[in-house]
Structure 1
Amino acid sequence: MIVVLAGSSGLIGTALAQRLRAEGHELRRLVRRPTQGPEERTWDPATGVLDPAHLDGADAVINLAGAGVGDKRLTDARKRVVLESRTRTTGLLARTVAGLDAPPRVLLQGSATGAYGYRGDTPVTEDDPYGDSYLAGVVRAWEGAAAPAVEHPDVRVAFLRTGIVLAPSGGALGRLLPLIRLGLGGPLGDGRQFWSWITLEDEVRAILHLLDAPVSGPVNLTAEPARQLDLVRALAERLHRPAVLPVPAFAMRLALGQFSDEILGSLRAEPAVLRASGFTHRHPTAQAAAAFVLPAS
């Protein structure tokens, strides 16, 4: 396939690009700087510039672009960056795709399980409505920006509602693993909140699966949700370390501000659509995820 990828420099995008190349697909990477190789095509979402020729002949477009929600404190200015980095890229790609005489047959649009807000211990699936949290509002606008492609009769659009991505380095565990290695890891808050998670390997496999699976609309890219403390304990056991020192909720809020809501809030998002489409997780449990993140040396 010919695949156009936006957001190829992040954790997921980097791993996905490597896998696409390994499987023999032709990759076109959209970048915001002068090109440095034959894969790259320049675009500028901030000013709405995207040459439609970059998408000519493409079979699929995958959009993972967007500023990190937890990278910096969520001031009002940062919130605008988070929102606009998603809606501008998504809107520009969707309009360009919809305007082509022969558009790509599929757009896989990045999204997040934060769409549902915080639901405690109640399982949620793709049939559940948007929540009322900060991130739920971002996701509503983010997915809404894809409307031109969604409305095109020849384009299948799936929203990749990704959970917390677990990887050997970077991502959600980038700050937590060093503490666990020192025996300082433990519950965040009371630790009983559900985390909707997926390993980086399964995230990439799921995206590749959705290039062909006849699925449209929201897709929860998660494994079986687990309580945060159970995930930390599984990681600590791999390192033969304790996982008993709690990080109080008030300390999380002091350190992370509003983003602490995303860490302390409980969301039990089930991968109902992904499972129904025939996808099988390679790391379905917390223990399997810990073995992936911390392979035996």
Structure 2
Amino acid sequence: MSDTTETPEARRQTDGQVADAVTGNWVDRLAPAWTRPYLRLSRADRPVGTWLLYLPCLWGVTLAAASTGFRWFDLWIVLGCGIGAFLMRGAGCTWNDISDRNIDGEVARTRSRPIPSGQVTLAQAVFWMVVQALAAFLILITFNMNAILMGVGSLALVAIYPFAKRFTWWPQIFLGLAFNWGAMLAWVAHTGSLTLAPVLLYLAGIAWTVFYDTIYAHQDKEDDALIGVKSTARLFAEDTPLRLRQFLLGSAALMVLAALLALLRPVGGAAAFMGLAGALGFALHMAWQLSQLDTGDNDRCLSLFRSNRDAGLIPVLCFGLAILA
């Protein structure tokens, strides 16, 4: 008699669930069946990426408000950036899957994604990407003109990122350039202009992205090596802990400088202290991640990657308290 017992992983694949999605996520449990392939294209079943795009926006608006004073429009910046992050992350991930459709089928973690698994056609994916991008644009045009121009300018970075792993060992830099743009955009949405503080905050975010996405990329390094895809995980190899420590220190130092520039002279006192506390707490969380890292354990890498939502929330909390100081 043949064994007809179906493994949980096989059942997940039969149902169309993506291999690295959070078990029991709302898309798989609650979303109408016809919407699930599109929501999976948008990574709605893996929300940490939306957080990682949204958090630099929150850094920018809270630090700007702490520096120049809270305005009621800041509440809309917070909400609008949240909706925009969900939409643009979805559009960006859809574009990534369109660009990688011939690669994802060769990688164990990604072959269950909607395009290589046949849940959606290429034309459907393109249509869905355009819908999300247009909806995000409607949010963007509620901001001031300089913020709108910055938002439009970020599209080039979004377009280039999926191809970076084909021509550079540093695709994580390109991801950081795109994912942290919101730190500057949200600052400009609040103040109307760009200064050095949000630029330093942006650079801190880029270093942070290299940190967390290198951890993430260690899940795929064997498959990447077979198909010739580059990443910092492959580049750093056994030196990963040392290299990540350097990016940790760089990210924390840049955030300290951003907080001091934004808060020390214009506000001072308790506000500057809270800004520094945010950068320190952020660094300590990354140091904890390094202490737990095992690059040979894919489950550990995924768990630590997801924990960066909490790391990024620490500066948001402290910058927010600086507004009240």
Q: Rg bigger for which structure? A: 2
TM-score, normalization by structure 1: 0.31
Structure with higher helix content = 2
Higher strand residue share: 1
